[in-house]
Structure formats: C-alpha cells, structure tokens
Structure 1
Amino acid sequence: MATAHLLLRVVAKFRWTDIGKLLERIQEVGQRLIDAQPREMVVGNIIRRVLGMIRDEAKEDREDASDSAATSQIGSPTLMQFPFLSGGLSRVTLRHRPLLMTSHTSFAMLNGVPVQQSMFNLLSATPSPTSTPPGTSSAHDKPAVNAATLAQRMVSHSKDLKAEIISGIEEIIDELNQVDDQIAAYAQEHIHSNELILTHTSSRTVQKFLLKAADKRQFTVIIAESYPNDHEGTHIAVTGKVRQDNEGGGDDMSTEAFLKPLAAAGITVILMTDASIFAIMSRVNKVILATHAVIANGGLIAAAGARIIAKAAKVHRTPVIVVSGIYKLSPEYPFEFESLIEYGDPGNIIGYDDGSLVENLEVDNPVFDYVPPDLVDLYITNLGAHAPSYLYRIVADHYKPEDINFHKPELQF
C-alpha cells in the first residue's frame, strides 16, 4: 500500500513529456526501494503493476491518436491518394484542359437534365484563377505549426496521459483495500459446518476469511501460536486484547485496530503450541495458511513454522489452503530459495542473560519459511480459487515480460 502511494506521488510531481522518461523514473525509484528491502517481494510486484499499467495507457493513447489521424485523412483526400495521376497528368494539364463533351453530357444539357459528373470530368474541370492546384493547401486552410505550438500540444497531451496514469494507480490502491474482503467472499464455499480448521499466525486475511465463514457455519479453529516471532500477534487475534508494558504496570486494554475476536463471532478457538501440531493433525479437516509472498512456481514464503505444518498435513492427507491476494504473487523464480529466508533477532529464543549458552551456541531465528508447491493443494485469491500449477497464467496476465527484471539491468535484453 505504501509503495503504491509513493509511486502516485512520484507520477504527480515528476514533470515529463516523454513516456520513456516516466518509465525510467519509476524504475529508478523501484530500484531504490528493492535495494532497501530485497526480500520484500510485494514491493517489486506493485512497481511492476504500475509499469505495466503505464505501458498499457501509453499504447491505448497511441492507438487513439492513430485512429483520429486516419479519420482526418479520409475526410480530406489529396493527390497523393491517387498515384495513377502523378505520372501522366500534370497540374498545367489539369488546369487548362477544356471540358470534353460526350453524348451523355450534350443530351443532358439540351434536355435540362443535371449532368452526372464522372471522376474524369471532375479532374478535367477548369479551376478558377484563385484556386490552388490539387494536392496543395492555402495558407488560410490551417495555421502553421511552429515549435511553440508543438511544445504546447505535447504538454497538453502529457497532462491528459498523466491524469489517466494517476487514475490507474488509484484503481490499484482501491484493489489493495478490497483484497481481504474479496477473498473472504469465497469462505463459505470452502469451510463447512463442524469442521476442525488449523491455521497459523495472526493474519488479517485469514481472520476475515474465518469470520465470513462463521456467518453461516459452526466450526472449530486451532491456532498455532508461532513462537517466538508471531506469538504475541496470535494471542491478540484470539483474545482481541493487547498487553501494553509501561513503567506503571501492564493492564489489558482493548484495541479497535484489530478485528473482532474469533470467539465473539461464535467460533470455538483453541490456542496450541507449535510442538503439538503433528499430534493433532489427524483430527484436522483443513489447514489454512497465510503467506508473505507467492513464487511463480506455486511455492510460497510464509511465517516460520508453515513448512512443518504443510508437511504434517501431507502425511495425514489433509488439504492445505493458502489465502493470498494477487498482489503477493511474484513473477520471480529464485533458484536458491535460501536467499528468500530472512533471519530475525536470536535474542527472542535465547536471552543475553543466559551467558553460557550465548557464548557457546550459534542461534538462528528464521522469520520466514519456504513452502514448496507440492505441499499446497489450493490457492484462494481475490480472483477465485486456483491450483498451484495455474499461477503462471495469472503472472502472465498481470505483469509485462519487459518489467520482470527491471531492477536487474544485467538481465534486461
């Protein structure tokens, strides 16, 4: 969302008369954003969407201009549209050739019938001395186009195109605001009554999905706490309260920033530790996972612990459903998936007060996991449900091939 708003300001403030300059500016800003957060693949996705939208608007503008030019040429034909006249007939011949009398014209003149002019008669008609030769135009037909007039037209044209581009970016922002609600609209098709649902971390998308299904379904939700990175957010999603630790003490306070608790919607909620996932998986009917990013091959980057859950579900033949907006679907296909994993503060696992452990152990705290596509059964997006093998088609529909590697000049052709 912040990336789209930033690009909206860049387009509004940047002065340009050539669409290529605007594309270069967007690519420059996108390169700086990706360099700042190389593992935030959503940032690159939004930039590619904006670049593709600009190319589409420029293409439509060129087609409209060519159509209007073709229409104006049809309305005012010139001598160049009759190539057979350029070689055999000169302007002097056309000016001084007398009108030829044929049997048809002489009979029509004697009987008072209007003469039906042919193409040859039109060309052979003697023009007045003040007329201009065919194929030329007088100085009063249209004003001369000088540099100032041309520059004014270019500025006016760029302003019209800029307004269309700004409107396109605002449509992308509106789409981002409606993604969770659009995904939640498919909840009742995939969640049935008396089911046991296992989910992971405190995802707003998953929470809206479950709340929408709770309108007409009665089911139970098991939430793995996702320790040590997301367990606080998971507790908030279950209880609807957050503990604020201040110097004066920690009192529970309700917050309107989070959604209505699942329990208040009539859902039976069970909070469990990550170590109990495999033991409870045989009782689970569905696994619903949130995602940080989706790769073009059908895999996903999710919170740490998601891969263990997906593997346990595959062993027990439990379907795994991933809810994600289209904006998280990335066209990139990294061959080293370890490069996508981000590591957090190891102090969340072992505190610095454990001096002996800190000195003798090397502790890694991965924030994300890579889940391969063979562990996922279905993706539910704001465009509907899709199999992992179909995501390549969605990538082709939303991104231009020339924008996929915009941040890698060495890979551009």
Structure 2
Amino acid sequence: MEELSPTAERLVSEFVRTTRRQGAVPSRQVADRTLELLRQLVSEPGWRQTAQLVGQLRAAGRQLAAELPTQPAVGTLVCRLLKMAREEHGAHDEVHEARPHGAPPSQVDSLHRRLTAGRGAAPAADLSSELTGLRANLLAGLDELQTELDASADNIAREALSHIHADDVVLTAGRSATVLAFLRRAARERAFHVLVVEGAPFGGGHRAAAELAALPRRVHVTVIAESALFAMMARVNKVILGVHTVLADGGLRAPVGTQALALAARFHSVPVIVCAPSYKLSPQFHRGDQQEGFLESVSPESVLPYADGALVGRARLTCPLFDYVPPELVTLFVTHTGGTSPWYVYRLLNEYYDQQDHEIVQV
C-alpha cells in the first residue's frame, strides 16, 4: 500500500522543510541529502516485505516531487532505489531460476520487454515475500550510488581533452560546478580561450570567470553580456553547458537564456556539449510551458528596481528561472559513462529507472 508510516512521514516533512529553508542550493548538495533520506527510509524497521518498502518509497517520491518540483535529484534518486529493490527481489524470485546459464538478468529483462512490446504490459512481480538481507543489500547499493555521484564530476572531466583542443574558443554560460571541473581538467594540458556569458541578473558568469582566471595555468577568460552573444558566436568553436534537468527526449530544462544561446549556436553551426551527471536524467517529457517546473520565477527587482516606482506601476514583468531547450539544439551529452547523443538518452533511462515509476518524477 502506497502510504507513509508516521516515522517516514516525519523524515520526508523534515527534508522538505530543510530544503525549502536553505533556498537556492547546488543540486549536488540536494542529491547527497536525498541519499541520506533514502538510507533512513531503508533502515526504518517498520517494513518487512519488499512490497511495503516499495509502497513507502513511491509515496515518499510522490510527496517529494510535489513539494520540490524543481529539484531533479529528489525524484530520480527515489526511482533509482525503487529499481534496485525490484531487481534485488527479482534476483531471488523463482521465475528467474529458469534464466539461461550465464545470462545477466538485465539482458533477459530487456529481451522480454522487446518480445512483449505492443502486446500489453507484463504482469507486475509479486513483491509480498520477505527476503533475508534485502535491507543490507539496498544500503550497500545506496553506498555504491553515493560513490557514483562523488566520482561523476571527475569522470565527466576526464572527457575534456577529447572535446577541447589547443587554441579553441569555448563558450559557457553562468556557473556550473561540473562545467568548471571540465574546463579545469582541460586547462592542465591545453591553452584555450573561454567566453563566459554573465548570466544576468544573477551574475553566475562573473563568479565562474573569477574561478577560471585564478587557475595556476591561466586560461584566457572573457565575460560577455547576453546582448553580445550572437555576434561572438561566430568566433566560437564549441559551447559547453551545465544543465538543470535532462528530459526523456533529450531536451533540457536549463537556466533562462540557454535556449537563445543554443539557437545562436545552431545558426553558426557550433556544437553544443552538455555536461550532465546521472541524477539529472529525468524520465519525463516536456509537455508545455504550463509544467510546474518551468513556471518558477523570482522577483524582477534586480532587473527593474522598486525605486523606479513610476515605471513599475506601468509595467508587468516576470523573471523566469528556466528555459526548455529541444533536443535538436543539443549535439552531445557527456555523462560519467562517456558521450551520449540526445536521441539515445532513453537507453540510459531504461538502465536507471523502472517504467512503472516514471510518473513519480515531475518536471
């Protein structure tokens, strides 16, 4: 039954309050705290059967996604754990005893899905039995997932020398910790020029430029305004971006202004490379600008100060945080496993998430 126990409800409510109170924090920090919450839910002694744990996790995932729709790591990590739980249970299920000798479970499952495609959904597995060691195995799986997150930035940065060459002109926007690690890795061995779009009115580009300029082996760094973006794009060799969420079709939920940047890059035939940790891969599609995750705005006071009272009274302003960038504007995703085309993101989603849990994640 998909409902939270009193202890789990208290943990989830406390997580939501803390996350909201902290305000704008890096998504990696939210991912780490989400893994800690999942460890507490798995360690809770109130469940015995896999079905009870799955029900609690699904209920927690729904509540977290509803309360924190703009935090991609929350729902996606819950889905990762749900897939782990089902796979652990499936490994002990009597149905899998008929598996061909030496064939991994994922290969058999994939073949079964292909053979049954178009003939109705396969019956849900029976998760009502109790499995000895399931709790310990899931906690070990969460530790492995934490290790994956800790190493993801370094693994993505290792691909830098494959994409950044000597004397390249690279353009980036705002401040992304993953992109900064990517550029730092390339700067160890190659000299190149970085154009940083300032990201007004938030000024993330200025902070990123200061960090890049402070490298021991300095790269040439230039901060440009958004208004100069199209003119400067003709001199750029490649665009390297961070992202808030990668959608199931290979599109992006990215900081506002990214769509205009990607359109300018396509006009000048400049490749757009997106550095994306695995926890930012969402199984949901873009369904229109009315999705809750795309509606978040902040006060426009930084654009039009309240001191300009006469003008403020005659103008209606919005300051949105996110853009939707369609997949045809993205050339390549760089994840911790290497480069992936936008059209093959679905294969990563099949590896990370179970299809019946996709609705938990909101965009």
Q: 1:235 aligns with which of 187, 206, 215?
A: 206
Specify the code of the residue in structure 1 equivalent to 2:349: V
Q: Work out whether 1:332 is the aligned partner of 2:363.
A: no
- Cα distance, 1:320–1:406 mapped onto 2, change above 3 Å: closer
Is the CA contact 1:301–1:368 (under 8 Å) kept in the aligned structure 2?
A: yes
Hey, what does 1:204 align to over in structure 2?
177
Deviation at 1:65, TM superposition (A): 10
Please list the CA deviations of residues 346-383 of structure 1 after superposition, one character each: whole Å capped at 9, or x if unmatched. Answer: 11211111111221111110111111111111111111
Q: 1:346 aligns with which of 262, 286, 300?
A: 300
Q: Work out whether 1:35 is the aligned partner of 2:66.
A: yes
Matches of 1:355 and 1:406, distance apart in 2: 44
Deviation at 1:40, TM superposition (A): 2.4
Hey, what does 1:59 align to over in structure 2?
90
Q: 2:198 aligns with which of 225, 240, 256?
A: 225
Matches of 1:198 and 1:65, distance apart in 2: 50
Secondary structure at 1:287's aligned position in 2? strand
Deviation at 1:50, TM superposition (A): 0.7
Matches of 1:192 and 1:338, distance apart in 2: 41
Please list the CA deviations of residues 221-255 of structure 1 after superposition, one character each: whole Å capped at 9, or x if unmatched. Answer: 010010012x1x33222224xxxxxxxxxxxxxxx
Hey, what does 1:164 align to over in structure 2?
137
Please list the CA deviations of residues 253-307 of structure 1 after superposition, one character each: whole Å capped at 9, or x if unmatched. Answer: xxxxxxx755433211111111111111110110111100001111101111111
Matches of 1:375 and 1:406, distance apart in 2: 27
Secondary structure at 1:265's aligned position in 2? coil
Matches of 2:210 and 2:199, distance apart in 1: 16
Specify the code of the residue in structure 2 equivalent to 1:238: A
Specify the code of the residue in structure 1 equivalent to 2:329: L
Specify the code of the residue in structure 2 equivalent to 1:318: V
Q: Work out whether 1:17 is the aligned partner of 2:56.
A: no
Hey, what does 1:46 align to over in structure 2?
77
- Trace 1:73-84 onto structure 2 (pairs within 5 A): none
- Trace 1:311-330 onto structure 2 (pairs within 5 A): 311-330=263-282
Secondary structure at 2:333's aligned position in 1? strand
Deviation at 1:42, TM superposition (A): 2.6
Report how many aligned residue pairs link the two structures: 299
Matches of 2:269 and 2:361, distance apart in 1: 40
Is the CA contact 1:320–1:375 (under 8 Å) kept in the aligned structure 2?
A: yes
Matches of 1:283 and 1:225, distance apart in 2: 18
Please list the CA deviations of residues 321-352 of structure 1 after superposition, one character each: whole Å capped at 9, or x if unmatched. Answer: 11111221111113214423221221121111
Specify the code of the residue in structure 1 equivalent to 2:320: P
Hey, what does 1:92 align to over in structure 2?
none
Q: Work out whether 1:356 is the aligned partner of 2:327.
A: no
Hey, what does 1:73 align to over in structure 2?
none
Hey, what does 1:174 align to over in structure 2?
147
Deviation at 1:407, TM superposition (A): 6.6
Hey, what does 2:258 align to over in structure 1?
306
Hey, what does 1:273 align to over in structure 2?
225
- Cα distance, 1:320–1:14 mapped onto 2, change above 3 Å: same
Specify the code of the residue in structure 2 equivalent to 1:218: A
Matches of 1:223 and 1:44, distance apart in 2: 31
TM-score by length of 2: 0.78
Secondary structure at 1:270's aligned position in 2? strand
Specify the code of the residue in structure 1 equivalent to 2:253: I
Is the CA contact 1:298–1:391 (under 8 Å) kept in the aligned structure 2?
A: yes
Is the CA contact 1:211–1:262 (under 8 Å) kept in the aligned structure 2?
A: no
Please list the CA deviations of residues 28-52 of structure 1 after superposition, one character each: whole Å capped at 9, or x if unmatched. Answer: 2112211111232332111110100
| Structure with greater Cα Rg | 1
Secondary structure at 1:283's aligned position in 2? coil
Deviation at 1:183, TM superposition (A): 0.3
Q: Between the two proteins, what is the percent identity of the paired residues?
A: 35
Specify the code of the residue in structure 2 equivalent to 1:329: L
Is the CA contact 2:213–2:220 (under 8 Å) kept in the aligned structure 1?
A: no
Secondary structure at 2:240's aligned position in 1? strand
Secondary structure at 1:16's aligned position in 2? coil
Q: 1:389 aligns with which of 324, 329, 343?
A: 343
- Cα distance, 1:334–1:318 mapped onto 2, change above 3 Å: closer
Moved more, 180-189 or 56-65: 56-65
Is the CA contact 1:198–1:286 (under 8 Å) kept in the aligned structure 2?
A: yes
Matches of 2:290 and 2:339, distance apart in 1: 28
Matches of 2:349 and 2:215, distance apart in 1: 37
